[in-house]
């Protein structure tokens, strides 16, 4: 485990090729032996790739599009965050089946039993240019405790150097790409959801073995639009503000667009990210960083 410190933020640690904060690293010792169940549904993504979107879709697909039920409980309780301190491994271990579990860990860092129990796993990826803009907004501006003292350009540079929490991005998504043909694995893309949410809800339902009526699909699509989710207090993480974890003037649901990076990134960062896509990803990996693609 290699500590890294560059003066802009608290220590980060490299753990089996990935950068983790001290806080997450402390819990990693309990991850390999965590008991996985065959009927778990895991939602895995690099941060800011549309994880919350998939959490809500999966919950609704599995609950016959019961939006009233979804609106009764916050998403972090319905689909807990695996490696976060709340609710913690013990609480997740005692949840009834089928459990829905969200993780930002790379696939290779997940519990050992993922390989033997083979639970259904949905992975969503997004283009890195919009991710880095979204990640800065979330990590530096939205969260209160991350203590990053650098500016936006510093954060982008750290991202391109693979030194952000859960990075390297390219390694994280490449691991998922390698699994894309596995029966228990579904690879989705944020930009595809933006282009056709109806189609992607149907893809998720088929993968999870649920048959939904057109009316149920339409209800999920409406409930999961950007504007609807932004104003939905069970998914927009506004509750973190009451707990002092997030700042009042910012919003988890920021822009929800494809290609917004054009309004934010410097030419140098765009060049660095293009290089990562060109040199570090598998040749046929489709990164979609504009609407037209």
20 forms beta bridges with 13
**Residue from 18, 43, 52, 287 in contact with ligand A3P (CB under 6 A):** 52
Q: How far apart are CA 98 and CA 76, in angstroms?
A: 16
Print the binding letters for residues 225-244 with ligand A3P: x by CB under 6 A, - otherwise.
xx--x---------------
With CA atoms as reference, report the closest residue to 124 among 33, 224, 268, 23: 224
Of the two residues 33 and 266, which places its CB atom closer to ligand A3P in the complex?
A: 266
Under the criterion CB under 6 A, does residue 47 sit at the interface with ligand A3P? yes
With CA atoms as reference, report the closest residue to 289 among 266, 268, 260, 265: 260
Contact in structure between 152 and 261 (CB atoms under 8 Å)? no
Q: How far apart are CA 279 and CA 171, in angstroms?
A: 12
Q: Is 104 an active-site residue?
A: yes
Could you tell me the strand order of the sheet in which 100-103 lies? 100-103, 41-45, 120-125, 185-189
- In the set 24, 104, 165, 223, the catalytic residue is 104
3 forms beta bridges with 13
Of the two residues 144 and 255, which places its CB atom closer to ligand A3P in the complex?
A: 255
**Residue from 15, 139, 253, 285 in contact with ligand A3P (CB under 6 A):** 253
Nearest distance from residue 104's CB to ligand A3P, in Å?
8
Nearest distance from residue 242's CB to ligand A3P, in Å?
19
Q: Scanning residues 86 to 145, which ones bind ligand A3P (CB under 6 A)?
A: 130, 134, 137
Binding site for ligand A3P (CB under 6 A): 45, 47-53, 130, 134, 137, 224-226, 229, 253-256
């Amino acid at each position: 485990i290699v500590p890294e410190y560059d003066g802009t933020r608290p220590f980060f640690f490299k753990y089996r090729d990935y950068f983790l904060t001290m806080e997450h690293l402390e819990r990693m010792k309990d991850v390999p032996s965590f008991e996985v169940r065959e009927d778990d549904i895991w939602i895995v993504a690099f941060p800011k790739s549309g994880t919350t979107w998939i959490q809500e879709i999966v919950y609704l697909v599995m609950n016959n599009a019961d939006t009233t039920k979804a609106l009764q409980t916050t998403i972090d309780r319905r689909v807990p965050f695996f490696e976060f301190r709340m609710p913690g491994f013990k609480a997740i271990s005692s949840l009834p089946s089928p459990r829905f579990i969200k993780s930002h860990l790379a696939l290779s860092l997940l519990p050992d039993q993922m390989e033997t129990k083979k639970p259904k796993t949905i992975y969503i990826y997004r283009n890195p240019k919009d991710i880095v803009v979204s990640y800065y907004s979330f990590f530096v501006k939205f969260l209160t405790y991350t203590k990053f003292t650098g500016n936006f350009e510093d954060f982008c540079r750290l991202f391109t150097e693979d030194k952000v929490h859960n990075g390297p991005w390219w390694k994280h998504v490449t691991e998922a790409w390698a699994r894309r043909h596995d029966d228990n694995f579904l690879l989705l893309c944020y930009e595809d959801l933006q282009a056709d949410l109806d189609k992607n809800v149907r893809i998720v339902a088929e993968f999870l073995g649920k048959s939904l009526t057109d009316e149920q699909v339409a209800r999920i699509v409406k409930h999961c639009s950007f504007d609807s989710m932004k104003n939905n207090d069970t998914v927009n993480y506004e509750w973190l503000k009451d707990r002092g974890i997030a700042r009042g003037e910012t919003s988890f649901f920021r822009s929800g667009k494809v290609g917004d990076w054009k309004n934010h990134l410097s030419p140098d960062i765009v060049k660095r990210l293009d290089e990562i896509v060109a040199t570090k990803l598998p040749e046929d990996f489709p990164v979609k960083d504009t609407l037209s693609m």
